[in-house]
């Protein structure tokens, strides 16, 4: 278990923003992440650009394509993390699909994670039942493999929660990521089934963009994850997005 991730939830409700590495550039991503940490982000998720991000909606898919068109690779992402680590100790979690990790090689990938200062990893297309071969290598290098639960996880929620590391990523609504006007899932019931078996923090993501959504959902969860709304800001402002992203994170954090 990575203590930096655990400690991020100890000061109250955690705010966890997401960016795609290399959109609009590696340097701009580094500046945005440092700014988000300064604005109060408790953990930052960094997406490794991938050609087929099946869990992501159009906004994040487009950011992946923009980064890939600039030639951003897994190696570039590790270089990005080194840049961030010169200026910030904020816990960093990679979000990637299994393919890039597999082709990099599990041992090499997680050796590099430990070397640059990655604290956790989320792999949306890795089924819980097939996690072991990745989880064992990740644990060896002190990287938490973070599990996802959904409203449809049902009886599996308890099983996943019992073995979960870092925090549980609660996908609040079915489908792909993206800004939503309202979230109708019975969140409380799912989180209660986690609480019965584990004290692991639960962070809610998918579709959250506004302060009132964050404030409402944080009544039930230990943290709030926001991706598409931040990626949209970066798309709109490009290399000059840092100030806008800082102010957005500060505002969202203030309501938690």
Q: What is the DSSP string of 99-163?
A: HHHHHH-HHHHHHHHHHHT--EEE-TTS-GGG-HHHHHHHHHTT-EEE-EE-TT-TTHHHHHHHH
Burial status of residue 4 (CB atoms within 10 A of its CB: 0-12, 13-18, 19 or more):
middle
For residues 153 and 155, give the distance between their C-alpha atoms in angstroms, rounded to a whole number. Answer: 6
Mean of pLDDT values over 91-99? 97
Instruction: Please give the pLDDT value at position 182.
Output: 54
Catalytic annotation present for 56: yes
Question: Locate tokens 């939503």: which residue?
Answer: 180
The CATH number of the domain holding residue 187 is 3.20.20.70
Using the predicted structure, report yes or no on whether residue 208 has a pLDDT greater than 60: yes
Q: Choose the weakest-confidence range: 127-141, 184-198, 208-222.
A: 184-198
Question: Locate tokens 């923009």: which residue?
Answer: 66
- In a domain, residue 5? The reply is no
Using the predicted structure, report yes or no on whether residue 212 has a pLDDT greater than 80: yes
pTM, to two decimals: 0.95
Using the predicted structure, report yes or no on whether residue 175 has a pLDDT greater than 80: no
Mean of pLDDT values over 142-163? 94
The domain total for the chain is 1
- In a domain, residue 3? The reply is no
For 223, the enclosing helix (H) or strand (E) is strand 223-226
CA atoms within 13 A on the CB side of 159: 7
Which one is catalytic: 45, 112, 144, 232? 45
- In a domain, residue 175? The reply is yes
- In a domain, residue 1? The reply is no
- Take residue 18 and report the two structure tokens written for it: 């997401």
Range(s) of the domain holding residue 160: 13-254
- In a domain, residue 98? The reply is yes
Q: How confident is the model at residue 176 (pLDDT cuts 50, 70, 90)?
A: very low
Catalytic annotation present for 79: no
Whether the CB-CB separation of 59 and 176 falls below 8 Å is answered with no
Using the predicted structure, report yes or no on whether residue 194 has a pLDDT greater than 50: yes
Which one is catalytic: 23, 31, 42, 56? 56
DSSP reduced 3-state for 171: strand
Using the predicted structure, report yes or no on whether residue 57 has a pLDDT greater than 90: no
- In a domain, residue 6? The reply is no
- In a domain, residue 50? The reply is yes
- In a domain, residue 111? The reply is yes
């Amino acid at each position: 278990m990575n203590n930096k991730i655990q400690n991020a939830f100890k000061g109250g409700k955690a705010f966890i923003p997401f960016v795609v590495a290399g959109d609009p550039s590696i340097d701009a991503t580094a500046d945005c992440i440092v700014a988000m940490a300064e604005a109060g982000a408790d953990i930052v998720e960094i997406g490794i650009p991938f050609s087929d991000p099946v869990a992501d909606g159009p906004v994040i898919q487009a950011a992946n394509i923009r980064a890939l068109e600039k030639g951003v690779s897994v190696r570039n992402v590790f270089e990005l993390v080194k840049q961030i680590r010169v200026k910030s100790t904020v816990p960093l979690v990679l979000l990637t699909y299994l393919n890039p990790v597999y082709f990099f090689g599990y041992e090499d990938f997680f050796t590099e994670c430990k070397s640059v200062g990655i604290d956790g990893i989320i792999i949306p297309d890795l089924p819980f039942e097939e996690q072991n071969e990745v989880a064992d290598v990740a644990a060896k290098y002190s990287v938490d493999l973070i599990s996802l639960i959904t409203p449809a996880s049902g009886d599996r929620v308890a099983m996943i929660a019992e073995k979960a590391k870092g925090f549980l990523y609660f996908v609040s609504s079915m489908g792909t990521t993206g800004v939503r006007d309202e979230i109708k899932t019975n969140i409380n019931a799912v989180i209660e089934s986690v609480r019965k078996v584990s004290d692991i923090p639960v962070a809610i993501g998918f579709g959250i963009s506004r302060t009132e959504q964050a404030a409402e959902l944080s009544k039930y969860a230990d943290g709030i994850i926001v991706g598409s709304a931040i990626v949209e800001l970066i798309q709109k402002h490009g290399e000059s997005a840092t100030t806008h992203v800082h102010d957005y994170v500060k505002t969202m954090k203030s309501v938690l």
